[in-house]
Amino acid sequence: MDTTPETRARMSRQKSRNTQVEIALRRALHAAGLRYRVHRRPLKGVRREADVVFGPAKVAVFVDGCFWHGCPIHATWPKNNSDFWRTKIETNRRRDRDTDQRLTSAGWLPVRVWEHEDPVAAAARVLALVVARRAQGNRR
């Protein structure tokens, strides 16, 4: 691997939970009157955690980083160690698609929020989806 010590140090500091974007989204959801669980696995036996989970409504929200999940607007492909990073990011994308498919098959609604999205606008989108799911018979 051709990763520089500086890059290795920077990547090791990247948070995978409770990022600023995630906290801002949760604050906006809470301010909108929604209550939720944080960092839960929506499906038993599937080792994938959603960032925000509305259990009874069966809505699982994932806050995806533009770099790590290959945002179509902001993704960049590193020049150093490019094969490693391309494989890593494409693997993340495949896992995201697989997670969405598994959740959908089990009756859940997966929602993807990009880190560059306005948290208030993203919360409004999530609120509308949760309210609609509750109206369809999924309670709480």
Residue 6 has pLDDT above 60, yes or no: yes
Number of domain units in the chain: 1
Domain that holds residue 116: 5-135
74, part of any domain: yes
Q: What integer pLDDT is reported at residue 19 of this predicted model?
A: 92
Pairing of strands 109-114, 59-64: parallel
* Entry pTM: 0.87
140, part of any domain: no
Q: What integer pLDDT is reported at residue 8 of this predicted model?
A: 58
CA distance 3 to 74: 22
Residue 11 has pLDDT above 80, yes or no: no
CA distance 126 to 110: 10
Read off the pLDDT band of 79 (50, 70, 90).
confident
95, part of any domain: yes
- Token code pair at residue 28: 């906006």
| Residue 12 Cα distances to 15, 32, 45, 64, angstroms | 8, 34, 28, 17
Averaged pLDDT score across all residues of the chain: 90
Q: Quick one: how far is CA 64 from the chain centroid?
A: 4
CA distance 11 to 98: 25
110 or 2, greater pLDDT? 110
The CATH number of residue 68's host domain is 3.40.960.10
57, part of any domain: yes
